[in-house]
Chains A and B, each alone.
Chain A
Amino acid sequence: MSVSFKYIEKDRTGMSIQELVQRDTRASVSSNGSAPPVIEIAHLRKEYGTTVAVDDVSFAVHRGEIFGILGRNGAGKTTTVECITGLRRPDRGEISVFGLDPRRDRHELHERVGVQLQDSALPDLLRVREAVELYASFYREPADGRELIATLGLQDAEHMYFKHLSGGQKQRLSIVLALIGQPEIAVLDELTTGLDPEARRDTWRLIEGVRARGVTIVLVTHFMEEAERLCDRVALIDHGRMVALDRPGALALAATTSKRIRLTATEPFPDVLLSALPEVSAVEHHGPEVVVAGSGDLVTAVVLALHRAGIHAEDVQIETANLEDAFLALTDETTHGDTNGVTR
C-alpha cells in the first residue's frame, strides 16, 4: 500500500491520494471481509551476488482472491514467489504464509500451498497417470487424481509419457499437480507462457474454476491481458521493486497520467486555448488534428472551450487506457525516477 502512495505522489494530474486509498481499501474489503491475509510479505529483499533481484517488496494476499504479480522478464517475480514458497531464503524482510515461516515450516507449508514453477518438469518417461498418483502420495489429504485429470481435460493423455505431451497438456498437468494436495493457496508461475492464444484462454477458464473451488491464487505473469482478465489485485514489479499495487482497472485508470482524446478542429487555434484548462495536461497539434491529454471530464471541457471560441470539434475519439498502458507508464516512470534519485 505504501508503494502505491509513492506512485500517486508522483502523479501530477491523476487521481488524488485519497481517491486511490479508498479504491485500494474497497478492493481489499470486497475480497476478504475482515479475515487476516493468508500471505504477508514485508520489505522482502533478495540479492544474487551483486544483483539485487528483489528490493523492498511488501504486500498481503487475502483468502479467495486471485493476486497477480506482474512484471517484465527478470523483474524479480519468480524470486518473490520462490521466497514465498520456501525455495529461497530472503536476505531481508519478513514472509508469513498462514502464519508459517516458509523456510522453517517448509514441510507444513508445502502441504497447504500448491506450486507450479517455471523451469520445473517431470521425468520424460513417466506417464500422466503415474505422475499424478505419485504426487498424490506426497500429500496428507490428496484430491482424487482421476477427477482432477478429467476436470483439466487430460483423460485422453492419461497414458502418455510426459515428454510426448503438448505445451498446453504439460501446463494442465502442472495445474493438476499443483492442486493434487488440495492446497489452500496455488502459486502459478508463468502458466500460459509459450501457449497459443486458444490454449491460453482455456487455461484462464481453468484458473477461474480453481478459484471457484475456494483456492487462493497467486498468479505470476508478464502478460498484461492475463492479469487484467484474471486478477482481483495486481502487484506491479519492475527492477525488483514494487511500483504499484491495486485492482487492474484502477491501475490502468490511475497510471495513464491522462486520458487522451483526438479530434479534428474546423479552424486553427492557439494551443493555450486548451492547455489553460485545468483538465488538460498536454496538447499536440498536427494541422487540423489535435491530440489532447488530460484527466477528469476532459471531453466536455475541451469541446466546450472550443465551442466558446467558435471552433467546432469533429471526429472526437476517446482513447481509454488499459493495464498495458499502466504498466508502461509506471515502469517507465520508475526507471526515470531511479536515474534521478526521485523515487526514494
Chain B
Amino acid sequence: MSTRALSLTPRQRRAFGLLVAGEIKIAIRRPVGLLVAVGIPFALLVIFGSIPATTRPLSALGGISFFNLYVPTLMVFVLIAVGLTGLPQQLSGYRQQGVLRRMSTTPVAPSWLLAAQTTVSLILAVIGIGILLGAGAGAYGLALPHDVGGDFVSLVALVLTAAATIGLGLLVAAVAKSPQIASALTALFFYPLAFFSGLYVPLQEIHSQLITDIAKGLPTGAGFNALHAAFTGHSPGVLPFLVLAGWIIVSSLAAARLFRWE
C-alpha cells in the first residue's frame, strides 16, 4: 500500500487528498464517530482522573493506580470505536446508496474511498489517543512508559490493534448490506471486545483464568496486555503481537474477499 501511495501522480495525490478532506468534513458534520472515538474516552479519562480513589496505587493491581491501569484500556477503546462505529456504517451506507457505484464510473476506483475512510479512521485514532495521553500525563499524572523501548512497544501495539479493529470494521462493511445491518453486526463485536479490553471492569479483578485466556486471544485483550506491560515497564512477550497479526491477516483477507462494490 505504502509503495503504491508513493507512486501516485500529483493529480492522483490531489484527488486522494480531496477525498480524505471530504470524508473529514462529513465526519465533522455527523460527529457520532468523533463523539464515540474521542469524546467518550476523554470523558472517562476526566472522570477517573478526577477521583482521588482511582489515582491511588493499589497493591491488588500490582502497585499501580486504577487510573494508570485504565488508560491503556481507553486507548484500546478508541481503536474499537474508530474501527467498529462509523467505518462499517459509513461504507455499507455508501454501497447501499450507490456512492461506490457512482465512483466506479470515474477514472478513480471506489477502493480509493475505502482508503480515504480508513485514513480518516486513523486520523481519528491519533486524535483520540493523543488527547488521552496528553491530558492524562499533563493533568492527571498518568505514568507513561519508562523508556524508549516502552514507547516503541506501545506504538507497535497501538498500530497493530488499530489495524485489527479496522480490519474487523472492513469485514463488517464487506458483509453488511445496509448501515442498519452494519450497526447490528458491530454491536455484536463491540461489547465483547470492549469487555475484554477491561472497559467495564479491570480483568485482573475478575480472577478468572478462563477470562484471562480468552482476553489473550482477542485483539482488544492482546492490545491491552501489550500496552499495559509497556506502560508499567514490563515486557509483553511476543504472544500479543502474534495474536494481533493473526486477526489482521484473517479479517483483512476475509474483507477483501467478501467486499462487494454494489
> Which residues of chain A have a CB within 8 Å of any CB of chain B?
85, 87, 107, 110-111, 115, 117, 119-126, 130, 133-135, 137-140, 161, 177, 181
Q: Are B97 and A121 in contact (CB under 8 A)?
A: yes
**Chain B residue contacts of A161, Cβ below 8 A:** 29
Q: Are A120 and B98 in contact (CB under 8 A)?
A: yes
**Chain A residue contacts of B104, Cβ below 8 A:** 87
Q: Are B107 and A117 in contact (CB under 8 A)?
A: no
CB proximity of A269 to chain B, nearest CB, Å: 62
Q: Are A121 and B98 in contact (CB under 8 A)?
A: yes
B15 — nearest CB in chain A belongs to which residue? A137
Say whether, besides A85-B105, A107-B107, A125 and B11 are in contact (CB < 8 Å): no
Q: Are B98 and A119 in contact (CB under 8 A)?
A: yes
Pair count A-B, CB < 8 A:
64
**Chain B residue contacts of A138, Cβ below 8 A:** 15, 106-108
Q: Are A120 and B106 in contact (CB under 8 A)?
A: no
CB proximity of B32 to chain A, nearest CB, Å: 12
Chain B facing A: main interface SS: helix
Q: Are A117 and B101 in contact (CB under 8 A)?
A: yes
Compute how far the CA of A311 lies from the CA of B216 in the bound complex, rounded to whole angstroms: 103
Q: Are B105 and A117 in contact (CB under 8 A)?
A: yes
B102 within 8 A of A: yes
B22 within 8 A of A: yes
Mark each residue of chain B from 1 to 43: 1 if its CB lies under 8 Å from any CB of chain A, else 0. 0000000000100110011001001100110000000000000
Say whether, besides A137-B14, A137-B18, A125 and B26 are in contact (CB < 8 Å): yes
B28 — nearest CB in chain A belongs to which residue? A125
Q: Are B106 and A181 in contact (CB under 8 A)?
A: yes
CB proximity of B23 to chain A, nearest CB, Å: 8
Q: Are A139 and B106 in contact (CB under 8 A)?
A: yes
Q: Are A122 and B30 in contact (CB under 8 A)?
A: no
B131 within 8 A of A: no
B70 within 8 A of A: no
CB proximity of B88 to chain A, nearest CB, Å: 15
Please pick, from A111, A119, A123, A130, the residue contacting B94 in the complex, using a CB distance under 8 A: A123
A178 — nearest CB in chain B belongs to which residue? B105
Q: A121-B97, A133-B18 are in contact. List 18 more A-B contacts (CB 8 A).
A: A87-B101, A87-B105, A107-B107, A117-B102, A120-B99, A120-B101, A120-B105, A121-B99, A122-B102, A125-B25, A126-B22, A130-B25, A135-B106, A137-B14, A138-B107, A138-B108, A161-B29, A177-B102
